[in-house]
A and B are shown apart, each in its own frame.
Chain A
């Protein structure tokens, strides 16, 4: 993974993604999320009511976040755990390295955590001579490939089965070279075997948290593989890394959010393993970690409070917005250039790394609104992307061509007669030129469009002209 953003070169990234046949083959599988979610909703008539409930819970929590954080901290301490507050990524990394070094840790297993990606924890461990082992199958695959996740719940969605086989042969060199790895089951079995040894020999287990419960001081993780559980129960030390908006007031509130999370993410009613962890092992427990630490990360979240982007802090990282996004479906996650792709990434990235670096992402939207329509937390993603576009424009970060283009359009749009005359002529010419093929594969000034798809030829009359003709209306 990489914490260095390639977001500023988003357009180039997207262009490369569109012309990468291997990626395009892999991305076909990402479309399976859409019918699976639809089938899960079909079985739950209360889903829309649950969305309202989930939104209200997070709004209530954010409005009282300072108090819930204090309550949560007190409960973790009462259960024998520790809470470490981190203002930014560097501070969070340092807290972790200090914990690891004080315990002489050599090997650290990891459950899937986007916050770990956000703070670049693996690189920090590598630099400190600590072996970081990703244990989620998808995360493990991309760690071997030295890549970033391209999806927040299916990190290796851009990788094909053939790629995985090649990677396993390259890295699992102590296994027989003539072994059969043709079937996905064989690949999974091999990863299970390799990672089992790591689980049993790790000094520290790091997980993220889907929710932090203030009532009980509990961290909740949700997985299908069980890797998060092996990560947090086997080593002597369990470290949870979570951003502070993961707080929910009570277990009942967590239950509401769990009902929309898995359905929105994978189309399951419940993920296979939903696990509540509260403090370290108790005096008579036969297993579990001896130490329990939580690193609470801010990294720009408090700065979003009270701004038009506060609603984004409701996000529970289900991935439904990217699964349903026509842009994500075409270019995948890497083109977005940082940790969070798709519509939620387009809103969150400029908030966390700045509009100068991440300002291009909110432009990667057709404003079709599918993201908002599927978001279980009812986050108004298109509205927030529009806010970012406005800020980008206000700060003069929009390219000159776009700025002058908008000015020219504004000039025309305020002169209806001239506008109608120009569009009318323009359409007639285009219709004439394109009448044979019905589309253009090349056109001056709009190569950004025609490089990757045809431009349809107009029918010959403007909308207004057709309207007048059909309705017989006069001005």
Chain B
């Protein structure tokens, strides 16, 4: 008997089942088809403005920095400003996601290149498909124009998120994923909550373990009534 068959038959003996019982099959089919949500914390809920406010606060709490721009046309300028103020080289590696491709990169003096990273890029830019207010988390998927290596190899990671894409919770981000891709999810989906860190040496919290040391979030179109917080 193959290992597979032996493990499954051992399991079924322990459960006193055959694997053919209609109610069990129905339980599994309905759970997967219905994918019910469980307990959703109140923290991330509320209208768009409330979600955005929570999202901003949680992102800063997670050790990232954040800036607001009024529209997509202003995003390249903010990216250039961020790199300049942090004394970083004016270079940028980015994916060709349609939201990024539509931005006026020629208006800046940034040296912009496109595609996956081979490990030599210092600064990278990605687009998030959702922001999660509950935990200040960015959700990014892989695909032709969205290389995953950009999210991990460069030292400084900048992520653009549109205010309309800030949702309350993980479940809402999954709903967006299903709406866009159906049953076949992208190869990689990254949920990113702050810059890379480690506490493995005497529980001392240090940033920039293997992934980016800095995470800067640019929120487009959700202009805050408050002054910009937590920059640089």
Contacts and interface: CB of A to CB of B under 8 A. Distances in A.
Contacts of B210: 135, 192, 195-196, 199, 225-227, 230
Interface string A135-147: 1111001000000
Interface string A221-241: 000111101100110000000
A87 interface: yes
B201 A85 contact: no
A86 B38 CA distance: 32
Interface in B188-202: 188-202
Interface string B1-35: 01110111011101111010000110110011001
B151 interface: yes
A285 B142 CA distance: 7
Interface string B136-153: 110000111001110111
B203 A250 contact: no
A30 B199 CA distance: 11
A303 to B, nearest CB: 7
Interface in A342-393: none
B50 to A, nearest CB: 17
B171 interface: yes
A302 interface: yes
Contacts of A138: 198, 200
Given A269-B193, A305-B14, A49 B36 contact: no
Q: How large is the interface on B (under 10, 10 to 19, 20 to 34, 35 or more residues)?
A: 35 or more
B191 A274 contact: yes
A465 to B, nearest CB: 48
A282 interface: yes
Contacts of A63: 15
* Best-surrounded residue of B4, B187, B199, B200 (most CB of chain A within 10 A): B200
A71 B3 CA distance: 17
A84 B202 CA distance: 38
Interface stretch (A100-108, A114-122, A211-219, A452-460): A211-219
A168 B144 CA distance: 40
B89 interface: no
A281 interface: yes
B138 to A, nearest CB: 11
Interface in A39-62: 43-46, 49-50, 53, 57, 60
A64 B188 contact: no
A255 B189 CA distance: 14
A256 B39 contact: yes
A251 B43 CA distance: 20
Contacts of B170: 255, 258
Nearest to A51: B39
Contacts of B193: 268-274
A160 B196 CA distance: 22
B15 A306 contact: yes
Contact of B38 (A50, A135, A234): A50
A185 B197 CA distance: 11
A164 B39 CA distance: 42
B39 A284 contact: no
A110 interface: no
Contact of B31 (A49, A250, A275, A302): A250
Contacts of B142: 281-282, 285, 287-288
A188 B208 contact: yes
A252 B175 CA distance: 10
A137 B6 CA distance: 38
Contact of B32 (A32, A71, A187, A272): A71
B86 interface: no
Q: Which 9 A-B pairs have the closest CB atoms?
A: A226-B211, A225-B209, A138-B200, A305-B14, A250-B35, A274-B191, A276-B189, A306-B14, A85-B4
29 contacts: A44-B41, A44-B43, A50-B39, A66-B19, A70-B19, A85-B3, A156-B200, A156-B201, A161-B201, A214-B32, A215-B32, A215-B35, A224-B197, A225-B197, A225-B211, A229-B148, A249-B35, A251-B174, A269-B58, A272-B211, A273-B192, A275-B189, A276-B189, A278-B188, A281-B187, A282-B187, A286-B116, A286-B144, A287-B147
Given A67-B19, A274-B190, 6 more contacts: A188-B209, A215-B35, A229-B190, A259-B41, A273-B191, A281-B187
